[in-house]
């Protein structure tokens, strides 16, 4: 798959939501999207939407999907590379070396002399206990 399973699920939900929107072109790259509640402005060249979801996730949101399908363009053009599985696999392609047991480490003597202790434990802060004043009808 070109995208991770989580991203594929998110995009399929957003794509299904995009069918009920009305898209009106403003110019070649800007569109007005009516979703029933509010009108949104989508700019495909800047990859922005007035709902800010396109900018936050860096994936096309439902408003952007509606405009992408209106322009008859591929949605893959608007995905950020780090959601693609090829980039994910490249991150794990390098070898990971074991650091071994601490007794095998070559630690300089000036570093070995430092003793690092945890900070002192002080307990959890609490509100002071208050005495309850019973109401007039209740006993002590």
What's the average model confidence in pLDDT over 29-47?
A: 88
Radius of gyration, alpha carbons of the chain: 29
pLDDT at position 140 over 60: no
The confidence score (pLDDT) of residue 31 equals: 92
Give the position of tokens 């939501």: 17
Query: What is the value of pTM for the model shown?
Result: 0.58
The residues near 17 (Cβ < 8 Å, ≥ 6 apart) are 62, 65
Kindly report, residue by residue over 96-133, the tens digit of the pLDDT. 788 889 888 888 989 889 888 988 888 777 777 777 77
Kindly report, residue by residue over 69-81, the tens digit of the pLDDT. 888 888 778 888 8
How far apart, in whole angstroms, are the C-alpha atoms of residue 68 and residue 12?
14
């Amino acid at each position: 798959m070109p995208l991770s399973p989580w991203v594929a699920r998110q995009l399929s939900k957003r794509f299904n939501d995009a069918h009920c929107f009305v898209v009106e072109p403003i110019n070649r790259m800007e569109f007005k999207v009516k979703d029933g509640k509010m009108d949104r402005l989508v700019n495909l060249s800047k990859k922005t939407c007035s709902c800010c979801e396109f900018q936050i996730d860096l994936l096309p949101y439902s408003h952007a999907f509606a405009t992408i399908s209106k322009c008859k363009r591929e949605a893959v053009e608007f995905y950020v590379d780090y959601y693609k599985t090829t980039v994910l696999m490249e991150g794990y392609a390098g070898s990971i070396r074991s650091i071994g047991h601490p007794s095998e480490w070559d630690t300089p003597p000036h570093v070995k002399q430092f003793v690092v202790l945890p900070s002192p434990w002080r307990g959890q802060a609490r509100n002071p206990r208050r005495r309850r004043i019973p109401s007039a009808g209740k006993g002590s």
